[in-house]
Amino acid sequence: MPLPQPPYYAVIFTSQRTAVDAGYGSTADRMVELAAQQPGYLGAESARGADGLGITVSYWASEADIAAWRRNAEHQIARDTGRRDWYAHYTLRVAKVERAYEWQREDGPQDPQA
Amino acid sequence: MPLPQPPYYAVIFTSQRTAVDAGYGSTADRMVELAAQQPGYLGAESARGADGLGITVSYWASEADIAAWRRNAEHQIARDTGRRDWYAHYTLRVAKVERAYEWQREDGPQDPQA
């Protein structure tokens, strides 16, 4: 994803999956697609390791945009199903991104923030 | 990790690995161990999927603590090696955590933020 100019918001969602898989993948894919259609959506990144611990960070222009996404009916149903079936534990944090930078191999080996 | 009381800081490090593995695992483990000894360290969570995309979020009491960890000599060497060998691309964001909550299965299925 391209780097938006701070300040903006990050929703850091850390979760531990149960062994119950029914519908998880398709719902996760659908939530990514649906989130991308919401006002203020700036992008998202997700990783889950073999131990079942996953981290999804989504980025939003404002707190109001995060609140509106939270009220989305389909998203509410997905969250309810998550608590019923898919998650053993989760943590959600809302954080204001103050600065950001990126590096890629083509930039060469020097520290981009030196 | 226990949930600290906001506000505090999150360093969101998203990275794409190369195919070069030499020393990566042991250095990553060492950095987790070393970070945990630094002043202001509040915890960290990490996940990497089969596609090589990883997200590590570390939590810190203040921006000054993040800056001090950045100056740690062993950490600097690990970062240099990361750019030389292990990473194709990375993004780093510093964000101020404003609110946080957690849910676990024992809490029951209701929305913890309803």
Q: Which of A9, A91, A111 is the best mutation test for B, with the most CBs of B within 10 A?
A: A91
Query: What's the token pair of residue B110?
Result: 């209701």
Backbone angles phi, psi at B24, to 5 degrees: -60, -50
Neighbouring CB atoms inside 10 A of A109's CB total 12
Q: B42-87 pLDDT, tens per residue? A: 999 999 999 999 999 999 999 999 999 999 999 999 999 999 999 9
Q: Taking 90 as the threshold, does the pLDDT of residue B1 lie above it?
A: no
**What is the percent of chain B where pLDDT is above 70?**
98
Q: Could you tell me which CATH class the domain A11-99 is placed in?
A: alpha beta
pLDDT beyond 70 at B12: yes
Specify the pTM: 0.96
Angle between helices B24-35 and B73-81 (to 10 degrees): 150
Please report which confidence band the pLDDT of residue A113 belongs to, taking 50, 70 and 90 as the band edges. Answer: confident
- pLDDT category at A89 given cuts 50, 70, 90 is very high
Does residue B2 carry a pLDDT above 80? no
Q: How far apart are the first and last CA of chain A?
A: 24
Nearest Cα of chain B lies from the Cα of A111 at a distance, in angstroms, of 7
pLDDT at B77: 97
A56 band by pLDDT with thresholds 50, 70 and 90: very high
pLDDT at position A95 over 80? yes
Average pLDDT estimate for A79-108: 97
Please give the sequence-ordered ranges of beta strands (E in DSSP) within B1-114, or none if there are none: 8-17, 41-48, 53-60, 87-104
Identify the pLDDT of residue A16.
97
Nearest Cβ partner for B47 among A53, A95, A104: A53
Question: pLDDT-based confidence at B113, cuts 50/70/90?
Answer: confident
CB B40 within 8 A of CB B62: yes
The question of ipTM being above 0.90 is answered as yes
Q: Which residues of B touch A98 (CB under 8 A)?
A: 94-96
Q: How far is CA B56 from CA A22, A33, A79, B90, B92, in A?
A: 27, 24, 23, 11, 10
φ and ψ at B26, to 5 degrees?
A: -70, -35
Q: Which residue of B has its CA nearest to A52?
A: B47
Average pLDDT of the residues of chain B:
95
Domain boundary assignment for chain B: 11-99
